[in-house]
Amino acid sequence: MTEFDVIIIGAGPAGLSAATELKRLGVARVLVLERERDAGGIPRHCLHSPYGMREWHRVMFGPAYARRLVDEAREAGAEIRCQTTVTALRPGGEVEVSSPDGVHILTGRAVLLATGARETPRAARLVGGTKPGGVMNTATLQGFATFSGGLPFKRPVIVGTELVSFSALVTCLTHGARPSAMIESGARPTARAVMALAPRLMGVPLRFGTTITAIHGRTRVEAVTLDTPEGAQDIQCDGVVFTGGFRPENALLRNSPLAVDAGSLGPRIDQYGRLSDPAYFAAGNVLHAIETAGWCWNEGRRVARTIDAALRGALPPLGSTLITAKADTDAIKFALPQVLSASDPSVAPAFDRMQLRLSRAYRGDIVMGSTTHRVESRPERRILLPLPRVTEPGP
């Protein structure tokens, strides 16, 4: 069994920024575990900008941004092990890992989960038809563009209108593919309304109130069936890109004793980023699918500071006061943190505001304890509200 001060699971923006910050704070043994061949997270695949504005006040493309994150963590003294998969989380900061060297048990005085999020695949969307080649999510698309030098189709259909959907659109257009259509089940784009101009300016039809019900083709995609306001329609295409519908990468959590939040599907945390086992912390998109790389980078740094406080014995005890956000409908998708521990003025919380997301458009009151907030927002927008204060630890 090998012991570390902090083990970080995931080498994306949250995990790498946390590693750099922990070393800056003087934490001795910091280990970052990454299952992929290379560290850097999703930005490694993203051949577009802007990245780096929040972090270094400059515009960068994804691969350069990822390299800088990795370089800073290594130069600070953090150890990064790639091709290493965590297979189990055990109580007290003990993790089981599998690597080319075999299966090992590692122990951290603290463990940070920074495993990120993943897109909803075809199977979970219940899309019927055949199973030809050319069906993928955005990460696979960008992997083709970055590492294979080209795309496996010329006329795909893009499903979704989140920010990542428009990233997929740009990737297609800059690598010789012109989508047959971009489709959205709602009446307007999930991303900001101005984004709807982009596909139209680029000559790509954008169809609202439309879902994909079946994919057709033998070895390659040949067509799809759409459910539209005018009824069922078949359109010709040679690929399908399912974008967005992000959910936390929570497979480790589901098979662990750690508490999972039913709304976010990520871990339940307090304002210091601690999980139900106080040896564990979390930051980044494992908490809130999905935020920008810059937001996750900053969150990783903030949680690193509370981890440092925990290592020094300076954090208040883990509380058990559950906080909930209530609306007069079922519009709230999730809210975090979900637990409040006692506040200590000497330690800044990693999460100093309640973060909410809505599952649909909502205008009305949101109640937290004795406080009522008036909110007007559309789905998948970040909403930040003041946290109530707790002066005593929970029972």
Convert the pLDDT of each residue in 248-276 to its tens digit. 999 999 999 999 999 999 999 999 999 99
The answer to whether 220 and 137 are in contact (CB under 8 A) is no
Give the pLDDT score at 368: 87
Question: Which segment of 7-16, 141-150, 311-320, 376-385 scores lowest on mean pLDDT?
Answer: 141-150
Domains of the chain as residue ranges with CATH: 2-118+247-316 (3.50.50.60), 122-242 (3.50.50.60)
The answer to whether 343 and 326 are in contact (CB under 8 A) is no
- Is the pLDDT assigned to residue 136 strictly greater than 50? yes
pLDDT band at 389 (very low <50, low <70, confident <90, very high): low
pLDDT band at 41 (very low <50, low <70, confident <90, very high): very high
Question: Rounded to whole angstroms, how far apart are CA atoms 101 and 107?
Answer: 17
Q: Average pLDDT in the 11-39 region?
A: 97
Query: What is the phi/psi pair of residue 356, to 5°?
Result: -125, 155
Query: What is the phi/psi pair of residue 326, to 5°?
Result: -125, 135
Q: Average pLDDT in the 351-367 region?
A: 93
- Is the pLDDT assigned to residue 156 strictly greater than 60? yes
Q: Average pLDDT in the 59-66 region?
A: 93
Q: Which two tokens stand for residue 270?
A: 């307090």
Whole-model pTM? 0.92
Q: 85-126, pLDDT tens digit by residue? A: 999 999 999 999 999 999 999 999 999 999 999 999 999 999
Query: What is the phi/psi pair of residue 226, to 5°?
Result: -110, 145
Residue whose structure tokens are 């927008």: 381
- Is the pLDDT assigned to residue 393 strictly greater than 50? no
Give the pLDDT score at 150: 85
Question: Rounded to whole angstroms, how far apart are CA atoms 321 and 140?
Answer: 41
Helix (H) or strand (E) holding 56: helix 53-56
The answer to whether 315 and 347 are in contact (CB under 8 A) is yes
Give the pLDDT score at 276: 97
- What is the chain's alpha carbon radius of gyration, rounded to the nearest angstrom? 22
In 3D space, the residue among 109, 98, 69 whose CA is nearest the CA of residue 284 turns out to be 69
The answer to whether 300 and 114 are in contact (CB under 8 A) is yes
- Is the pLDDT assigned to residue 341 strictly greater than 50? yes
Q: 169-204, pLDDT tens digit by residue? A: 999 999 999 999 999 999 989 888 888 888 988 899
Prior bond of 290 cis (ω within 30°): yes
Give the pLDDT score at 112: 98
Q: Which two tokens stand for residue 320?
A: 């058990």
Give the pLDDT score at 330: 87
Give the pLDDT score at 391: 47
106 burial class (0-12, 13-18, 19+ CB within 10 angstroms)?
A: buried
Q: 211-249, pLDDT tens digit by residue? A: 999 999 999 999 999 999 999 999 999 999 999 999 999
**Mean pLDDT, all residues of the chain:** 93
pLDDT band at 394 (very low <50, low <70, confident <90, very high): very low
Give the pLDDT score at 294: 96
* Per-residue DSSP letter, 304: H
Q: What three-state secondary structure class fits 214?
A: strand
Give the pLDDT score at 15: 98
